[in-house]
Amino acid sequence: MAKAEPGFFKHLLWRLEVLAYDSVRICMAPFSLDSISAFSGRLFEWIGPKTSKHHIAETGMRVAFPDASDAQINTWLSESWNRIGRTFGEFPLLGRIKVFDGSGRVEVIGLERLEKLKKDGKAAILVSGHFANWELMAAVFSQTNLPVHVTYRPTNNPYFDKRIRQQRAAYGIKLMVAKSGAKGAKELIHALRSGQSVALLNDQKFNEGIEVPFFGVGAMTAPGPTRLAIKTGAPLIPMSIVRTEGANFRVTIHEPIKLQKTDDRTADIRDGVLKITSFVEEHIRENPTDWFWVHRRWPKEMYRKKP
């Protein structure tokens, strides 16, 4: 049965949502990125604990750090909300950030790995997680003029989706691929075989994926980046970002993850997924409040409140 087309009032609601977003963005315009970041951080630090997402974040932290004290968890939660708020507040203004303008706002380590890809005309699979302001990792490789296809999940509101794409284009992201199953995968394979890199975040729950341990607990994880690497032979290069202070960041392009190649493709894919997951886990341990804890990463039953 064909899905019903949205009616007039639905489109009106969608347009009003974009109008509200644009109004907020216009109000932000006179202020500096630092002041908007700080204000948004304090706002979310106040609002976040009053929402249902707070329980999700707290549950995740207790799964990942079972030995942490209540005081430590509460400190992390407060700082995590502050950083989430900063990330959302910064997004409309990211077009102001020029990674290589010498301002020192974004420090880049391992840039030579991207420069070599560009020089050699080679493609790579850039993989990471929702760390700090993850959008800035894309700003780094986009502003090096490295052709990279970035995967993203379209919003239900097509007008807002268009605005998000425009915002990302403002800081350099031009090649975006919607996550759309087989169709999206074919587009990514074609890009890699044409010498263009792809970028994917590989740290959220994916029900159709494979279960691997994440902080010692089974979590459904997308095998897509590993499958692409094995199928095309493109190197799997992990990236990370940390918020050093306020609206300042350090982006690192790490050494490629070495994938095993045996006659057992299923085992090879699982090995690659494990290695990516270990990379994500390692960086969460180093910077617990930089990760996006409000996502249900583990099975739903783990998040049910006890009576």
What pLDDT score was predicted for residue 22?
92
What pLDDT score was predicted for residue 46?
98
Of 180 and 237, which is predicted with more confidence? 237
What pLDDT score was predicted for residue 180?
61
pLDDT mean across residues, the chain? 92
Residue-wise pLDDT tens digits, 223-249? 999 999 999 999 999 999 999 999 999
Name the band, by pLDDT with cuts 50, 70 and 90, for residue 175: low
What is the mean pLDDT of the segment spanning 218-224?
96
pTM above threshold 0.75: yes
In whole angstroms, give the CA distance from residue 166 to residue 173. 9
pLDDT for residue 2 is more than 60: no
CB 217 within 8 A of CB 224: no
Enter the tokens of residue 274: 């494990």
pLDDT for residue 1 is more than 60: no
What is the mean pLDDT of the segment spanning 99-113?
92
Name the band, by pLDDT with cuts 50, 70 and 90, for residue 197: very high
Of 159 and 65, which is predicted with more confidence? 65
pLDDT for residue 173 is more than 90: no
pLDDT for residue 192 is more than 60: yes
What is the mean pLDDT of the segment spanning 68-79?
98
What pLDDT score was predicted for residue 128?
97
What is the mean pLDDT of the segment spanning 253-267?
95
Name the band, by pLDDT with cuts 50, 70 and 90, for residue 181: low
Break the chain into its structural domains and give their ranges.
8-300
